[in-house]
Structure 1
Amino acid sequence: MGNKSGSEFGSMMIRTEKSVYFAGDVVKGNIYLHIIKPGYHGNVVQFSIVGKEKTQWTSGQKQSRTTHHGKNLFHRDTFVIHTFLNQNQMVGQYVFPFELHLQPNLPGSFESRYGVLASLNYKVKARIVSASKSINDVKHKQDIILRQPIKEILQVSSKQVTANLTTWCCKQQGSSTISAKVEKNLYIPGEFVQITYDIDNSDCKLNIENIDVNIVNRLTLKSNSGTQFVRDYPLNGLSHKGIQKGLKIQPTSSSECSIEVANTKTPGFVITPSASGHLVNSTYYVKIIPNFEGCTCCSSSPILLVPITMLTVLSKDQLEPIVQPENWQPQAFQPLIIKSNSTNPFNNKNSNLKGMANNMDN
């Protein structure tokens, strides 16, 4: 039986019926305990769910390079699944069914090693606690993936931005305005984003040479020292002909385009659902960039970001029947329903075991 931290006295395995859940779902599973040798002292079977974030990136050049780190244990709940009356464990097989009710406000899982380290992950753990300092706990852990439930209302997403332009740092060149909308705010990979945008360049003295329209993923990371990393990863997009100075795209001739939610520009980058943790945030935008003539690098450009949310769809084939180990004839216990009392996943300092033990002898 699978066991990541083995013991000469036996093994333990935790198995859930699925590997992917939405926050707020009920996680059903079994904990299997197999004691193969007498002499193990310990009678408390514990179950835990743990959520952790981790970030790491490097900034600076050569000798001045700095590595930034972030770690955050944002969620932890530990429960007593069962308490045996006899602390000296008898040789035998046991199975403990459980139902874990997940909090609805837990952030979604995330993993990226594309130039940086950014992870937000969950594990469920089980152990029978050893009463001897010289003997390790019999324990096991399993990764589970959480997705954030759909909380937003399906609607049009729109934005507008205006910027004053200067060339060569100080020469005023007027202002330019961009407004844009996408037909909806929620997407899954493979869908097409329908985009409509207008540009008012009538008060600007600079021509817009071309306009880039992209779908981007913005990754925002934080370290424990308070430093921050922000990077946009272009996924897919196109370029349109620009507009001359002093002109305006009329509403009747608004520019329209359709872009697939797919990655054609950043090889190796995987499109994952949006995630909003404390140290790790992954968001998506339609990004519209007008490229003006001349040197405008010292002025702000009217770069427009229209937010969209990336979702995931869980298929029925992800449901896996819980199959017990071979040659398994365990003593089975009643299912235990586990509900967390925590309310804020980023302020969870609960370290007390919940008094939910079933007191039974071996």
Structure 2
Amino acid sequence: MGQETSKYNIQGGIHVHLDNFSTTFGEEVNGTIYIHLEKEIGPSTLLFEFKGKEISSWSESRSNYGSRRHKSKVVHYKETKNIFSFEKEIHRFEDRISIGNFSVPFTFKLPSSGPGSLNYNYYDTNGIIQYKIVAKLLGSAGENYKGWAKIDLSEPSVIPNKDESSSSEGRISSWCCVDKGNCKINVTHPESIFTRTSRPRFTIDVDATNSKIDITEVYAKLVGILSLKANDNRDLIAKDIVRETNTIRIPAGGVMNGIVIDLDLNKQDDSTRELFTSKGKLVECVFHVEIGTDLDGWFTCCGNNPNINYAVSVIPEKINMNKPPKPPNGWNPNIFEHIYLAYQ
């Protein structure tokens, strides 16, 4: 996500350069519109646009069991919704524009809130929330030059970003609900706002004093839940984004403190790398961390194994691109006055 822009074509064109490709709603975005013309055009208007949309699509296989001949069919769901569509005229060329180059620096104040960017593509399942800054040069004779740059936006977090401590106690039962005691865990967890390069560390205490079953493993995992909607239908996808375990045996009746587990978010697979916290109308994604234990033996059921869940936010990293694009040959632009815009 981010760092995607349109390209010049052989007749010239427009390139939109952003100093920061990833930021938060309510912040300012600085950039430059580069115009490169290799032929003269008529009187024209330069437009600035900020656009956002969400796309939700998936397929389901359905069977008809009521007929003599068993048949199945695939049903496709898809819906697209605009989030923002802001357009502003920023310059009018009253006369013909000669061959040449132009630079238009700008600052744009983003909307105060909106659903965060995300991009999930897995076979025919898609959940997309994307934003673009677009520049258009429209000539009186039908000329149409267009350039754009994608920008990743994150929602202002409402989850406190501080170290906290949580505890949980669960009753353990085996097959036929035979009582196997209980186990307690306590965890000190770090910040609640993650990026793709985060390595949150969890310190876990396990108290199996009243347990009749050994503890064989302590784990931590980040879970993402993606909700897709289309035409009054809904699809729900839950994924373990990354999971780490500490294989350490705690005998029944024992206690072990200070068990450390690091979650490396950089280990997640490609299908989830662009999933971020977002609450759109069609696409919504939330995350939580789960800390828990695995037990020795089969048929442990009917009980409530101790585990701790707490909500977190996953946001894009801020990306600053201070280096402008490589200019075309002979680049010597006319530089316009800096333009200030705000979403309305």
Please indicate the TM-score interval, normalised by the length of the shorter structure: 0.7 to 0.9
Q: 1:28 to 1:322 in 2, by over 3 A?
A: farther
Partner of 1:127: 136
1:6-21 matched pairs, under 5 angstroms: 11-21=13-23
Cα deviation, residue 6, structure 1: 6.1
Distance 2:205 2:314 in 1: 21
- 2:151 match: secondary structure: strand
Match of 1:26, as an amino acid?
E
Match of 2:161, as an amino acid?
L
Matched-pair contact (CA < 8 Å) for 1:119–1:280: no
Matched-pair contact (CA < 8 Å) for 2:22–2:319: no
1:51 aligns with 2:60: no
1:195 aligns with 2:198: no
1:29 aligns with 2:31: yes
- 1:83 match: secondary structure: strand
Match of 2:240, as an amino acid?
Y
Q: Give a deviation string over 1:125-161, Cα, whole Å, max 9, x none.
A: 11123556xx462212222233456665432234445
1:182 aligns with 2:182: no
Q: Give a deviation string over 1:321-361, Cα, whole Å, max 9, x none.
A: 466543234443211101113xxxxxxxxxxxxxxxxxxxx
Cα deviation, residue 193, structure 1: 0.9
- 1:223 match: secondary structure: strand
Match of 1:218, as an amino acid?
G
Q: 1:72 to 1:302 in 2, by over 3 A?
A: farther
Matched-pair contact (CA < 8 Å) for 2:224–2:240: yes
Partner of 1:259: 262
Decide which of 52, 75, 80 is 2:84's aligned counterpart: 75
Match of 1:222, as an amino acid?
L
Matched-pair contact (CA < 8 Å) for 1:111–1:120: yes
Q: Give a deviation string over 1:242-276, Cα, whole Å, max 9, x none.
A: 664xx585xxx446222242455x65456568422
Partner of 2:105: 97
Matched-pair contact (CA < 8 Å) for 2:120–2:274: no
- 1:241 match: secondary structure: coil
Matched-pair contact (CA < 8 Å) for 1:286–1:307: no
Matched-pair contact (CA < 8 Å) for 2:286–2:313: no
Partner of 2:340: 337
Cα deviation, residue 213, structure 1: 0.7
Decide which of 222, 235, 238 is 1:228's aligned counterpart: 235
Q: Which moved more, 1:10-19 or 1:159-168?
A: 159-168
Matched-pair contact (CA < 8 Å) for 1:158–1:179: no
Decide which of 327, 331, 356 is 2:330's aligned counterpart: 327
Q: 1:163 to 1:222 in 2, by over 3 A?
A: farther
Match of 1:96, as an amino acid?
V
Aligned length: 324
- 1:227 match: secondary structure: strand
Looking at secondary structure, tell me which structure has more strand per residue: 2
- 1:113 match: secondary structure: strand
Decide which of 90, 102, 126 is 1:117's aligned counterpart: 126
Q: Give a deviation string over 1:199-234, Cα, whole Å, max 9, x none.
A: 5784x8x73653441222413132223413231225
Matched-pair contact (CA < 8 Å) for 1:181–1:306: no
Matched-pair contact (CA < 8 Å) for 2:202–2:261: yes
Q: 1:283 to 1:300 in 2, by over 3 A?
A: same
Matched-pair contact (CA < 8 Å) for 2:53–2:81: yes
Match of 1:180, as an amino acid?
N
Gaps of 5+ in 1: 342-362
Decide which of 213, 220, 224 is 1:214's aligned counterpart: 220
Q: 1:209 to 1:141 in 2, by over 3 A?
A: same
- 2:113 match: secondary structure: coil
How large is the Cα RMSD of the aligned pairs? Answer: 4.0
Partner of 2:69: none
Decide which of 237, 249, 256 is 2:244's aligned counterpart: 237
Q: Give a deviation string over 1:68-113, Cα, whole Å, max 9, x none.
A: 4353322232111112335xx4334433221112234344432333
Q: 1:104 to 1:56 in 2, by over 3 A?
A: same
Matched-pair contact (CA < 8 Å) for 2:225–2:286: yes
